[in-house]
Structure 1
Amino acid sequence: MKKIMFTGGGSAGHVTVNMALIPRFLEEGWSVAYIGSESGIEKQLISTIPDVKYFAVSTGKLRRYMDIQNVKDPFKVVKGLYQAYRLIKTHKPNVIFSKGGFVSVPVVIGAWLNRVPLLIHESDLTPGLANRISIPFATGVCTTFPETGSMLKNGKCRHVGAVIREEVKQGNADLGRALCGFVRSKPVILVMGGSLGARKINQSVRQALSRITKQFQIVHLCGKNQVDPSLVLPGYKQFDYINEQLPDVLAMSDIVVSRAGSNSIFEFLSLKKPMLLIPLTKEQSRGDQILNAQSFEKSGYCDVLYEEQLTVDTLVHGIERLYDNRHAYIKRMDTSEQTNALPAVFGWINEIAKR
């Protein structure tokens, strides 16, 4: 029996590609294991998949700001590296697949020390810090945007496109409306700030509810611990995060207001959902979401509202403009040449495992 280990975590975006791939390997008879953190969202998400062994290792976060944890975390990373090395040595996988995030770094180095081939997936136009550290240790790198390979120039890259979870395309709009208590006669906006939340987006949406709900119903994914229990209104439904029912919620949604994480926006593209993207600022991130959003805006798939310009008025205007022009966005999405990269990534992993 061939064995594969997956890693990646810290946010849902570092897990969803793995969740798209894992069922394919289980169907083909592979033994599947996952190395993640003890308390990250990856543990919560992977626990929903039967027959996948989950192993937790110590992790440290790669911060871009001053924090006392920056002194402690290198020791956690060293501990995590030892744990990952021992796990890989014990389980002897044929190949390891990394989606990135800070938890992946000790696993990547542990794979290299055990001489286990490793494939990395980079969703964003430019690699994140964890993947930049990891790429020298990798056998190959799958890229979502074609421009990424020209930036790296190391001969390891292969442009495969976006990996889309098959279940995302199997949503039932009626089940989504039943979940939220929505009616068929009024259009629906999905507001999605990310699994870790987006406070300014949440605040702006809530301040604009009286105006937006005149025309729309809103399903609001607020992020962990950011649901406001005092807001119980007709046509407005809050969740911290949705996993299994997300395809149904997507199916019923007419337009999407979202951050600009690569995995999410490519799933919206595959479903032909017009987007108003509010990317993380450079102060909050390395600027990757800004580049993702600008790439989609250039292709005519979305509008972009920068967080520095986010107010109740700009949000309401952006939503109304997007909805009024939704058919033009859908038409441009219909001409997109994006295809699901899952078969290409699965094939490359098999190719590496046979060497």
Structure 2
Amino acid sequence: MKFLLTGGGTGGHIYPALSVVREIYKNNENAEVMYVGTSRGLECKVIPKENIPFKTIDIQGLPRKIGKEMIYFSSNFAKGCYQARKIISEFNPNVVLGTGGYVCGPVILMAWLSGIPTAIHEQNVVPGITNKFLSKLAKKTMVSFEDSKDFFNTKNLIVTGNPRASEVNELSLDKAALTLGLDKDKKTLLVVSGSQGAEIINHNFIKIIEDLIKNKWLQIIYVTGDRYYNEVNKKISSYDKSNIKVFSYLNEMPMALSLADLVLSRAGATTLAEITGFGIPSILVPSPNVTNDHQRKNAMTLVKRDAAEMIEEKDLKPEVLMEKIIKLLLDDQLLINMKSNSRELGYLDASCKVYNVLKDIAKTKK
């Protein structure tokens, strides 16, 4: 069976697709997979490293205003459709999956016109404009959250969860603690501010580190992002660093998550999939600078189910952050309840569900 996947621009679209590819190979070692992206997006760096056949098309996002940019977009879209149709014709997939990003537009459209069954997967609560349009063509529209049902006008919708959650492994706490140089018996706070680093999270957290590390029952894993790593290390150079580990980026993130009792982070879809996959309580600071305010709506899905607490950027201050962190970490029963609620949102079988949907709709190919 042949599977064609497409999705790009950000890790939030790419890594769920990668999880599905791994599930495909796990269940069907003879499966053929092709990935279609762009030459400018993150996918052109990530996918080839996974030894997945990769093709690119030329496409850009839809302009927000009508003008000269729209004329260029129309020409570019037509070119992308031509390239997508050629790839589809040569590969002849049984089914096509789009996980988001404007690259999905031409690929899903050309597959649909070619009579090939298609499906899409939306990671955020609020869908992007591309997925809202493509849901009208897709045999199945898959979503990560129950709350997403309100944003799609289709009967072919199924809640699968985010395939990224299926990447969670049952890790040995002893091994995780040894690898990271931590104590598995201490309360652990994991602070993650993204690959580049969220300025407002870093600037507020830096101001409370000294007071936090005075609590010897607490240890901190702090992933600063590249931009803030040197600044943070300079700030804490004179502190007792026996109970804090600082990283610019952490390859062993699953180990950090397995140790964490509480996470402080943004509210991107992939981050929340990992958090709920491990069933970790969280303090979420959604970015207001995203389309459709989708991070705040992602966060609210966890908040409404008592799996997380949220601080909006306008309300974020060092003293507010300090109070919330200490309050949660000292309340064992609250953490237990939040952990259970978070785990219920985890959808650890998400990749399997998506694979089964693809396998079923592939049978409808004429």
| TM score, norm. by length of structure 1 | 0.86
Q: Aligned runs of 1:245-324 on 2, under 5 Å?
A: 245-281=252-288, 283-324=289-330
Q: CA deviation at 1:210?
A: 2.3
Q: CA deviation at 1:269?
A: 2.0
Q: CA deviation at 1:31?
A: 0.5
Q: Which has the higher contact order (CA 8 A, sep 6+)?
A: 2
The residue aligned with 1:34 is 35
Residue by residue over 1:170-227, the C-alpha shift from the partner in whole angstroms, topping out at 9 and shown as x without a partner, is 334445445544444643322223446422223322333323333344333344x424
Q: CA deviation at 1:125?
A: 2.1
Q: Does 1:14 align with 2:13?
A: yes
Q: In the alignment, is the contact (CA less than 8 A) between 2:127 and 2:151 conserved in 1?
A: no
Whole-angstrom CA distance in 1 between matches of 2:327 and 2:187 = 14
1:24 is paired with a residue whose SS is helix
Among 307, 328, 350, the residue aligned to 2:359: 350
Q: Aligned runs of 1:227-242 on 2, under 5 Å?
A: 227-232=228-233, 233=236, 234=241, 235-240=244-249, 242=250
Distance 1:326 1:201, change over 3 A: farther
Which range moves more in the overlay, 25-34 or 125-134? 125-134
Whole-angstrom CA distance in 2 between matches of 1:189 and 1:7 = 35
When the two structures are aligned, how many residues end up with a matched partner? Answer: 349
Q: Aligned runs of 1:74-223 on 2, under 5 Å?
A: 75-184=75-184, 186-195=186-195, 197-215=197-215, 216-223=218-225
Q: In the alignment, is the contact (CA less than 8 A) between 1:143 and 1:160 conserved in 2?
A: yes
Whole-angstrom CA distance in 1 between matches of 2:75 and 2:327 = 50
1:6 is paired with a residue whose SS is strand
2:158 is paired with a residue whose SS is strand
2:53 is paired with a residue whose SS is strand
Q: CA deviation at 1:350?
A: 0.6
Q: In the alignment, is the contact (CA less than 8 A) between 1:20 and 1:163 conserved in 2?
A: yes
Whole-angstrom CA distance in 1 between matches of 2:148 and 2:169 = 27
Distance 1:170 1:84, change over 3 A: farther
Distance 1:222 1:33, change over 3 A: farther
Distance 1:237 1:352, change over 3 A: same
Q: CA deviation at 1:155?
A: 1.6
**Uncovered stretches (5+) of structure 1, i.e. residues with no partner:** none
Q: In the alignment, is the contact (CA less than 8 A) between 2:328 and 2:334 conserved in 1?
A: no
The residue aligned with 1:45 is 46
Q: CA deviation at 1:23?
A: 1.4
Q: CA deviation at 1:154?
A: 2.0
Q: In the alignment, is the contact (CA less than 8 A) between 2:229 and 2:248 conserved in 1?
A: no
**Uncovered stretches (5+) of structure 2, i.e. residues with no partner:** none
